[in-house]
Every structure is written in structure tokens, then in C-alpha cells.
Amino acid sequence: MFEDMPESRAREILLGLVDEYWQRFHAHAPKDGRIDYAGRVYDSAEMRLLADSALDFWLTSGKYTQLFESGLAKFLGARYCSFVNSGSSANLLAFMSLTSPLLKERRIMPGDEVITVAACFPTTVAPIVQYGAVPVFIDITLPQYNMNVDALEGALSKKTKAVMAAHTLGNPFDLAAVLRFCRKNNLWLIEDNCDALGTEVSIDGKWVKSGSVGDIGTSSFYPPHHITTGEGGAVYTSNPLLHKIIRSLRDWGRDCTCLPGQDNRCGRRFDGQFGTLPRGYDHKYVYSHFGYNLKATDMQAAIGVAQLEKLPGFILRRRENFDKLTELLSPYSDRLILPQPCPDSRPSWFGFLITCAPGVDRNAVTAQLEADGVQTRTLFAGNILRHPCAEGVRCRVFGGLDNTDTVLRQSFWVGVYPGLTGLQLEKIAASIVRALEKSKT
Ligand SMILES: Cc1ncc(COP(=O)(O)O)c(C=O)c1O
């Protein structure tokens, strides 16, 4: 078929077939009637770029990775972005970068403290524990579900080096207050932005994207997230030194900044002096950190490039869906505590988080929803300290975790993702109302 044909023409034919394949087998794929809390939203553009990247067969990070990284950095208003293989890897990398000897006296050392919350996704806290630093847990406020900034001063100690927490389901924590606290006390700030891509906050009268305010931000592109690359994540910063450390730790810990397939980018591959290595030791194999390989593939990045184009539309849909659920459920606010955006923010919602008022059985409500075919989720760990993984872990709690425990027992969330229709949102609300009616009798 491809005989005597230039490669570009052969590729055009194959990619044209991918379009047709999507149209025939994906565009109108039958659904099982279940209302998911999240899902991939894509069309032939994603499949086409994925196939294009597969035909390149470069496999590791390459041209699509660079496009995705620069596109995401631009969207966020961050100077640098590094694509990685998951949001958990992004958190690991963000935290580990703050332990680099290159940061001198500001580096986080084992035994140093990091302020965070227990109403969390586990891999926001895991890197702190795994490194031997000490998480200090403060409570959250309801119904914002983010750290109570009034507790920050009390949680501070001589050992505090950083604040690291997520913007809960798209709702940002009070970034202006946390930033002020961090600057005043010379602390690092890591924003786990995995569930909040596109959220905006007003800082000093200027609207900026969450994830770009602190020293480092992280994203996840696992399928339920705002955009997907299958598996995937990102770490972003505007600090050149942190960026250098992040790249080193992501790419095996090496000192060299050559891209995959590149040699001698710096032009000094064989004439540097590093540590006590012999002069001129091959720079490609000089290690400034004990690092990892957390890179993702170019095929994942290719999907991300197409998803980025759709991101502004996705964010709008998420906001509309959130508003619709608020409208439908407001009449029941005596029995359901509905979510509220943090002041001075425009959240890019990940989900619609509800807390059942005292006397309403959360498990009965979610059982009804699931029986009606509506997928529900808890706020991840609820309270991470009550999980088996926390047993024996060195940590500190400041000021009690009452609201965190309320979330553990009484909260659940449903979806607002762009794939939901108006009718599906009505069905979600109707199912919740049915559960409330039943719980009355
Ligand atoms: C707040 C938060 N942080 C980190 C992660 C981890 O992301 P990943 O599943 O890509 O490892 C998630 C996952 O959903 C998350 O919700």
C-alpha cells in the first residue's frame, strides 16, 4: 500500500483512518447508563496525536513532551514545567527537590516539620513521611474543606520548613494567607494542584492560576482529572534553581541537562571538574543527586497536547455543572452542607463535595446513589491518621482534627466532569433527594 509513497503521505493516510476509526467506534460508543463521577473526554484529536507519536516510535520524552510542557507552563503562568509519570511522582519530586543540598540551609532535613492536612490524598503526605520529615496536621474548615489558616501560627515550630497541601477538589486553600505565612517565616510552599487545574485566585488584586503561586505546583493527569494523559503528572515552578533540581531528580539524579537522545548539550561534556571525580569525567554520567527516573512517554504527552486545547472549555463546563448541582440541592441545605468556594477564588471544580448534616446517615445516602447507578466517592483518605499506614508514623497534630473527622464520617462527593449532561445532573440530585426522603421515615 505504501510502496513508492513518501512517509508523510503514508502517515496522512494512517491518521485519516484513525479519524474514521474514532468516528465509527468511539464517537457514539454505547454507555451502560451509569453516571460516573469522572471520565475521559476526548475525540479524534487525542487519538490522532497518540497515533502520530506511535508512528514516530520515539517512545521516551521527545517533541510532544516539550510541546506539552511549554503549553502547560504557559497556561499556568509558570516559567518551567516538567512532565512526569503520575501525580504521585509529581508530589514525590516536588518534595524531594526541597531536600537538595543545593538549597543549603533552606533544604528540608530528616526531622524537619512540614505543615499539611489529614483530609488528604495519601500521596500528598507520603513523600514527607518516606523521607523522614515530620508532617504536622492541622484541621480544615467546612464547607471549603481546606486547611484552617488560623491554625498555621500555632502549628509553627523552630523545625518547620514547608507547607504542602492540596487544593481540595478544585477549591483553593487561602493562598494569599498561606503565602503571607510562608514568606514571613521563610518556608517553602508546595501546592498539590492535582485536583485544581485551572483554578484562579486573586492575589494582591491580580488573578493567577493555583499551582503557580507557591514555590512548586503539581498536577495529575490520571483519567478522572481535568485533563488526562492516561498515567501522567507534572511539576511546575518559576524558580530556576528548583527547576534545575527537579529535572536532575526526575532524570536519574544527573547533573547533565541533555534531552533524551542528545549528547553534549553544554559543549563541555569531557572537560568539567565535579566533586572528586577525575577531571573530564563524562558529564552525562555525573550525578548531583540520588534521583529517580520519573519521566513519562512522548505518547502520553501527545494526548496531553490535544487535551490542553480543550482545557478552557472543560473548566467552564465543570463550573456550570457545579452551579447546576448547587441550584438543584439548595432547597435541602438544612440536611446537606453544600460546598462553597473559598473567598477571592474561581475554582475549577473536580467534584461536588457534600457533608450530611447531623442525623443524616452518609452511608445510607451513598448506598442509595450507588443503587441508582450514580458513582460516589469519599474525600479520599478522609482522615489519613485513621488508616493502617499511619500506625507508628512520627507526626504532630495541632489543634485537633474535628472537622477532618466529620468529613471522614459524613462527607461524599459526586461528579461535575464535562461529560455529564443536564439530565444526568438532575438524576444525581433526584437520587440524593430520594435518599433524604427515605432517611426521614
Ligand atoms: C490531591 C491529589 N494528589 C495526588 C494525586 C495522585 O495522582 P496520581 O493518581 O496521578 O498518582 C491525586 C490522585 O487523584 C490527588 O487527588
What's the CA-to-centroid distance between 285 and ligand 1, angstroms?
32
Among residues 190, 147, 189, 198, the alpha carbon closest in space to that of 170 is found at 198
Cα gap 280→270, rounded to integer Å: 4
**Ligand 1 mean position, distance from CA 126 (Å):** 12
List pLDDT tens digits, range 202-229.
Answer: 999 999 999 999 999 999 999 999 999 9
Of 116, 171, 192, 194, best ligand 1 pocket probe by most atoms within 8 Å of the beta carbon: 194
Phi, psi dihedrals of residue 276, rounded to the nearest 5°: -100, 20
- Please give the positions annotated as active site: 225
Q: Which three cell numbers stand for residue 159?
A: 523545625
Count Cβ neighbours within 10 Å for each residue of 48-80 and write b for 16 or more, e otherwise. Answer: bbbbbbbeeebeebbebbebbbebbbebbebeb
Residue-wise pLDDT tens digits, 240-277: 999 999 999 999 999 998 888 889 988 889 999 999 99
Q: What is the atom index within ligand 1 of the atom nearest the CA of 380? A: 16
pLDDT in tens, 127-178: 999 999 999 999 999 999 999 999 999 999 999 999 999 999 999 999 999 9
Distance 77 CA to ligand 1 centre (A): 22
Nearest CA to ligand 1 atom 8: 87
Whole-structure pTM value: 0.97
Q: Which of 95, 195, 199, 348 best tests ligand 1's pocket when mutated (most atoms within 8 Å of CB)?
A: 195
Instruction: Tell me the CA distances in angstroms from 259 to 49, 66, 205, 266, 295, one per residue in order.
Output: 21, 10, 39, 11, 11
Distance CA 135, CA 396 (A): 6
pLDDT(441) > 80: no
pLDDT of 49 > 60? The answer is yes
**Atom 5 in ligand 1: which residue has the minimum CA distance?**
87
| Nearest to 235, CA basis, from 24, 70, 81, 439 | 81
Residue 30 is predicted with a pLDDT of 75
What is the number of the ligand 1 atom nearest to the C-alpha of 123?
4
Ligand 1: centre distance to CA 356 (Å): 25
Specify the pLDDT at position 398. 98
Atom of ligand 1 nearest to the CA of 167: 1
Residues with CB under 6 A from ligand 1: 86-88, 91, 121, 123-124, 166, 192, 194-195, 220, 222, 233
Instruction: Residue 39: name the closest of 216, 195, 228 by CA.
Output: 228
Percent of the chain clearing pLDDT 90 (strictly above): 95
Tell me, in angstroms, the distance from the centre of ligand 1 to residue 334's CA. 32
> Looking at residues 376-398, what average pLDDT do you find?
98
Decide: 186 and 104 in contact? Cβ < 8 Å.
no
Q: How far is CA 42 from CA 35, 310, 419, in A?
A: 17, 9, 10
Q: Measure 85 CA to ligand 1 centroid, in angstroms.
A: 11
Q: Whose CA is nearest to atom 7 of ligand 1?
A: 87
- Going from the C-alpha of 313 to that of each of 30, 76, 168, 318, 329, the distances in angstroms are 24, 15, 21, 9, 24
At residue 270, the pLDDT reads 95
**Is the distance from CB of 242 to CB of 215 less than 8 angstroms?**
yes
Per-residue pLDDT at 376 = 98
Residue-averaged pLDDT of the chain: 97
Closest-CA residue, ligand 1 atom 10, reads: 87
pLDDT at 440: 67
The answer to whether the CB of 212 falls within 8 A of the CB of 72 is no
For residue 190, the number of C-alpha atoms closer than 13 Å in the C-beta half-sphere is 31
The identity of residue 85, as a single letter, is N
